[in-house]
Structures are given as structure tokens and as C-alpha cells.
Amino acid sequence: MLISAAMMPHGNPVLKPEDEETRKLAEVLKEIGRELSKAEVYVLISPHNVRMSEALRVIMAENLISWLGFAGVQLPGEYKTDKELAREICLKAKTEGLPVVDINFASLSGEYSRFPLTWGELIPLHFLEKRALVLLTPARHIPKETLVKFGEVVGEVLENYEKRAAFIASADHAHAHGNGPYGYAPEAKGYDELIMRIIQENRLEGLLEIPDELINKALPDSYWQLLVLYGVLRKVPMKLIKAAYTCPSYFGMGAALFIRE
């Protein structure tokens, strides 16, 4: 059964907050951790592992191992994949005709079936109690409606699963706020404000109305995961408990906690 869902950032500033707004965001992440501790398994969608433009990915490797940090910050961690759940998600998505592939590495099972974790997974997981995990990855060059449909599939599978589950969208927002490698675009502020308004009003259907031009100029790292989150919440409606946002660097970060109605 799906009991909760969250949007969590994967930017290093939340690990050691240096300003009040980032500290507030970190407190919300801790609250998310307390709520999600009621789950027995996490399903986490992150943009920073295997990247394929036109296929969704379900990671089937048995062992998920910390490998790649960001900006010199390395977080330890080793997690087990809930392979039964991963298989159910993959098979259901394929049955629905969605462009999904299963990914493994080195060995089909056992200690050599390993897959690397990056900051995209490790930073959200830093705030969560350790649980079995299913790791998903979105695709940016498939229709928006396909991403929503994938989320509906995930939500349906989790709702019918025997274990209590939580869904997590690992998502940083616009990366064009300036003082960073992607330069400055005024659309970055507009994108982040719009996303957080959609989140705070709990009307994720508004994601489908965001113009492609705004997305392309703002350079977000959240839009595609949030479409999947929207699909999950379409299947299992939840109420928003808390949300927070800050932009201490060149990219925006937001968090949100949803629990069952």
C-alpha cells in the first residue's frame, strides 16, 4: 500500500545549511524522513543515474552502492533493491505499452549484481531511515502524458503491493539563477515560483500547462520526475502536509510531503 509521497532536493546545501531558508528546508526534509519511516520500501525516481533520452528505467541490480558524490561531498550508503517490486513495476509498465527498460550490471543477482548511487539518490536518502529501495529514472524526450501514465502505473502497483511503500521524486529546480555553470535566465525564477505554487496548491495537473519554452530556458532538473509524481498521486490521492523552497546557489531546491487522504 502506498502511504506517502515526497518531493526532495538533491543539492549539497541541504546537508550543511548556511542560511535560514536552507535550514528551514532541511527541517522539512527531516520531517519527511520521520513520516516516510513508516514505510517498508521506498520507490525513488532520480535523474542522475543511467541517462536515456527515450526510455524509462527500472534498476534491477540487487545491490545499490554509493559511488558518485558532488562538489567533493561523498555520502556513504548501501541499499538492497526490492526486486519483486521492481519487477512488478517494470512488467506492468511494459504491459501498458510504455517505453521502459530494466537495467542490471555485472550479474543478474548476488553480490556482483551492483549499481552505483549518485548524489541524486544519496542526498534524499540521507534524510531517510534505511529501507529496501526501487530506483527509477525518467526520460526527457518522451511525451509528458507518457510520464504521467508511468506514474499511474507505479501508483497502482504500490497501492496493491503487500508492503507499505513511499514514493520519492528527487528533484532540484531551475539551474539558471546565475553564479553557476549555466548562466542566468530570468525564466529560472518564474519556473521555480510556478512549480512551488502548483505544489502548494496541490494541483499537479498544472504541470502539463507549463510551456516548453519556459522549461527549456529555466534549465530545471525536476519537471520530468514531478510528472511521474503527478501520475502517482492521480492513482492515490494525497493531501499536502508541508512544503518549503530556497535558492542559496545557482539552482532552486524545494521539498514537499504528501500523505494519504
The answer to whether 148 touches 238, Cβ cutoff 8 Å, is no
Cα three-residue angle 198-1-46, rounded to 5 degrees = 50
pLDDT tens readout for residues 229-245: 999 999 999 999 999 99
Q: In this structure, what are the phi and psi dihedrals at residue 206, rounded to the nearest 5 degrees? A: -65, -20
Q: What angle do CA 106, 112, 118 make, to 5 degrees?
A: 80
Please give the pLDDT value at position 68. 83
In order of start, what are the domains of the chain with their CATH numbers? 2-260 (3.40.830.10)
Cα distances (angstroms) measured from residue 148 to each of 35, 153, 205, 225, 234: 25, 9, 10, 9, 9
pLDDT for 169-181, tens place per residue?
999 999 999 999 9
pTM: 0.97
Distance, CA of 239 to CA of 257 (rounded, Å): 8
Average pLDDT over residues 168-193: 97
